[in-house]
A and B are shown apart, each in its own frame.
Chain A
Amino acid sequence: MRIGVLGLQGDFREHLAVLRSLGVDARDVRTRAQLDEIEGLIIPGGESTTMAYLLEKMGMLSVLRERGEQGFPIYGTCAGMILLARELNDAYPEHRLALMDIAVKRNAYGRQLDSFEADIHIKDIGKFHAIFIRAPKIVRVGPGVEILAEHDGAPVLVRQKNLLASSFHPELTGDSRVHEYFLKMVTKG
C-alpha cells in the first residue's frame, strides 16, 4: 500500500515513521504530481495557515479537494483537521479543503500553556494516550459524521466516509492504532 504524508510543513516525518513501522510504502508529498502516486493521504500537524498557503500556491488545493469529494481517503491531524473542516470560527486560513461537515474552532483549548496529554477512549480501539498541542476543537458535527472519541464532551476523533480527523497527535505517541484504523479505511473503502 502506498500512502502519502503531506510534507509541506509540520511533523510529517513522525507520520512517515509510524506508517513505515507498519510496513507501508510511505512517501513525503510536496507536489501535485506526487498526489497521483498514492492511495491515501495524511495531513500532519503543523501550522494550518502555512500549509494552506503552500497548498494553494502550488496548485494542490483544488486537486486534493476534488479527490476528497470522489472518495480518496484523507486523514488530518490537528492542522490537517482545520484544513478538512467545512466551517471555521476564524478568517484564517482563507483557503481550505472544506470537505468534512464539521465546525472547528482554532486554538480553542488555549495557547501552548494549555497544551495537554490525556487518556481517551476510541471506539473499536480502546484506551489511547492522546497529545493535544494548541489543539483545534470540534464544536459541531453534521449528521453524516461519526464520533469515534471524545474528551471533556467535545469530539476529538471523527470520521465521515473516506475522511478522518483528529484534534490530537497519534504520531507523537508511538502507538500506531489510529494509523492502522486509517489504513483499513484505505483498503476497505
Chain B
Amino acid sequence: MERLTGTFKVKSGLAEMLKGGVIMDVVNAEQAKIAEKAGAVAVMALERVPADIRAAGGVARMADPKKIKEIMDAVTIPVMAKCRIGHFVEAQILEALGVDYIDESEVLTPADPEHHIDKWQFKVPFVCGARDLPEACRRIAEGAAMIRTKGEAGTGDVIEAVRHMRLMNKQIRIVRQASDEELVALGKEWGAPVEVLRLIKELGRLPVVNFAAGGIATPADAALMMQLGCDGIFVGSGIFKSENPEKRARAIVLATTYYNDPKVLAEISEDLGEPMPSISAARLPERELLQVRGN
C-alpha cells in the first residue's frame, strides 16, 4: 500500500506528540542522555547554548554535523537542530543528516536579510520563532509546522516570552471576533496572510502547536508559560548552565505537566541550586537583542 511521507499532517503531527513536554538544548551526547533520562520529549543539538553564543559574539552557524550525529546516536527521543534564518543549504544538510525537526532560529546569525526558508520544499518539519501573531502567520505560510515564542534567548529572563505569548493570545482573540471583511483589513494592517488568519478564526487557535521559548530558567517559569496557554516548553541555557542540571531538568519536566498544581510546583521548586547566570532583558541594548532578527 502507498505511503505518503513529508506531508504537512505528519510534520505538524510530530509537534502534536511533543505537547505538554520539554525540549532541551544539549551540546553533547552526555547532556542528551541526561535530558532523555530526565523526561525531555526532544533535544536540540547545538554546538553552544544561547548564553554562550551571546557571550561569544561573532557569527553563529549551524552545528558541526559530527556533533549532531553524535547526539542522534545517543538518544531515542527526537533530535532537533538549528539552521540560520534563510540559510536553506544548512537546512538541506540537516535534512540529509536525518534530524527530526529543524529550528530556523534567530539565535544563530541570520543568513538572509529578507527571506526565510521556503519550508514547503522540505520533507523535514520546521519550527520557527515569532513575537506576535502576524509573524507566526508568515512563518506558517512559509511552511512552518510548529511555532515557538522567541522570548529573549540566553538571558534567563522570562519577560520577553511572556510578552510574546500574551500578545499572540490577544491577537488570536481579535481574529476570532473579526468579521470576514475585517480579516482582510487585519491582514493588510498586520502584514499577515489572510488565508492563515481565516484558518485561525475557524479553529479559534493557531493551526500548529505553539511552544514557549527564550528565557525560561525555573519550573515556575515553565508553569507560567503553560498557564498562559502555550503547548510546551523549550529550555535553552536554563538547564545545563544551572548548578544542578539533572535535578532542574526533572523539575521543569514535572512543572510542565503539573503547571496548574501549586502544591506540586512548590515541592519540585525546592533546593534546585543556582539557576543559570541571568541578565535582565530590559538592560540589553537593541543591537544585542536576538528577537529582532528575522521578522
Contact = CB atoms under 8 A, between A and B. Distances in A.
Contacts of A76: none
Interface string B5-34: 111011001101111110000000000000
A183 to B, nearest CB: 22
Interface stretch (B191-199, B252-260, B273-281): B252-260
A119 B1 contact: yes
B39 A50 contact: yes
Interface of B: 1-7, 9-10, 13-14, 16-21, 36-42, 76-78, 95, 98-101, 123-125, 253-254, 256-258
A120 B38 CA distance: 36
A12 B14 contact: no
Contacts of B13: 115, 131, 133, 169, 172
Q: Which 4 A-B pairs have the closest CB atoms?
A: A112-B100, A115-B10, A116-B3, A53-B39
Contacts of B9: 117, 131, 172
B266 to A, nearest CB: 16
A57 interface: yes
Contacts of B10: 112, 115-117, 131-133
16 contacts: A7-B20, A9-B41, A10-B17, A10-B20, A47-B42, A53-B38, A54-B39, A106-B76, A113-B5, A113-B6, A115-B10, A120-B1, A131-B10, A132-B10, A133-B10, A151-B1
Contact of A134 (B100, B257, B258): B100
Interface in A102-133: 106-107, 111-120, 131-133
B127 to A, nearest CB: 12
Contacts of B19: 9-13, 46
A14 B20 CA distance: 13
B89 to A, nearest CB: 18
Interface of A: 7-14, 30, 45-47, 49-50, 53-54, 57, 78-79, 90, 92, 106-107, 111-120, 131-134, 151-152, 169, 172
Contacts of B257: 7-9, 30, 54
Given A50-B253, A53-B39, A111-B100, A118 B4 contact: yes
Nearest to B256: A9
Contacts of B253: 50, 53-54
B258 A50 contact: no
B20 A8 contact: yes
Given A46-B41, A107-B76, A116-B10, A9 B100 contact: no
A169 to B, nearest CB: 7
Nearest to B2: A118
Contacts of A11: 16-17, 19
Contacts of B256: 9
Contacts of A45: 16-17
Candidate in A14, A115, A169 with the most chain B CB atoms within 10 angstroms: A115
B98 A111 contact: yes
A51 to B, nearest CB: 9
Given A112-B100, A114-B5, A79 B17 contact: yes
A110 to B, nearest CB: 8
Contacts of B42: 47
Nearest to A171: B16
